[in-house]
Amino acid sequence: MTVIGFIKITSYRCGEIMKRLIYIVLPTVISITPIPTKTIENFDIVLKSKWQELDNNCKTCTDFGGKWILVGSITFKKRSKDPISVDEIDLRWHGEKIDNLIGSLYKKNLAKEFLAIEENLICDGIWNERTQTLILDFDERENLGPTTVFYLVLTIPETIEPVLKKGHFCLENDCLPRPFKQCAQNERLLLAINDNTSKGLIH
């Protein structure tokens, strides 16, 4: 065997050994190297039950078809600077069957006292009797800031008030922006409807 031939064979074998080492070592390196991701700690959803009559005028109740009650808040919190928006919130009812439910979603101006007025209205809800879900399909896509608060206002007739106070809503994760889906998957996000949670003024 010539010197040149020996060198070629040796180089070939060394190359094969290096390839095998790469196949073995590379997956291990990848598995232990931290990859930057959007962690769940950067996103949170908080549901808080409330119970405040927004207008106890008897004539107004008659016109609306029931008491106008602020029943809870839905707060989105994000530490990420990436732009994220939401265009729908679905609340599935868990309790005695309800034939119809009227509800609206408002955005809370964090610098002002809450008012259920047209300026703050995000959308009126649609009640799906079959799935027992209040579908809040936004009139316009809403960009989320570091803290964005929505208020849920229901029109509650006397006939269904006792029913509502025995059950709760669960926030469906299918409609949520992707970074927030994990929040609903890790923990059921519930909104109980009762008049014992908060009878103070809503700020």
Residues making up the chain, counted from first to last: 203
3-state secondary structure string across 75-100:
EEEECCCCCCEEEEEEEEEECCCCCC
Residue numbers of the domain that contains 18: 1-35
This prediction has a pTM of 0.74
Q: What is the largest distance, in Å, between two alpha-carbon atoms of the chain?
A: 108
What confidence tens digit (pLDDT) does each residue in 118-128 have?
A: 999 999 999 99
Sequence-distant (≥ 6) Cβ neighbours of residue 11 within 8 angstroms: none
Looking at the fold, whether 30 and 118 belong to one and the same domain comes out as no
* Structural domain includes residue 202: no
For the beta carbon of residue 128, count every other beta carbon within 10 angstroms. 14
Cα–Cα distance measured from residue 41 to residue 33, given in angstroms and rounded to the nearest whole number? 20
Of residues 178 and 18, more confidently modeled: 178
Which amino acid, one-letter code, is at 136? Answer: L
Task: Give the CATH number for residue 165.
Answer: 2.60.40
Give 149-165 pLDDT, tens digit per residue. Answer: 999 999 999 999 999 99
Phi, psi of 35 (to 5 degrees): -105, 125
Beta pairing partners, 119: none
Is residue 170 assigned to a domain?
yes
Considering the domain architecture, whether residues 2 and 96 belong to the same structural domain is answered as no
Q: Is 56 helix (H, G, I), strand (E, B) or coil?
A: coil
| pLDDT computed for residue 193 by the predictor | 80
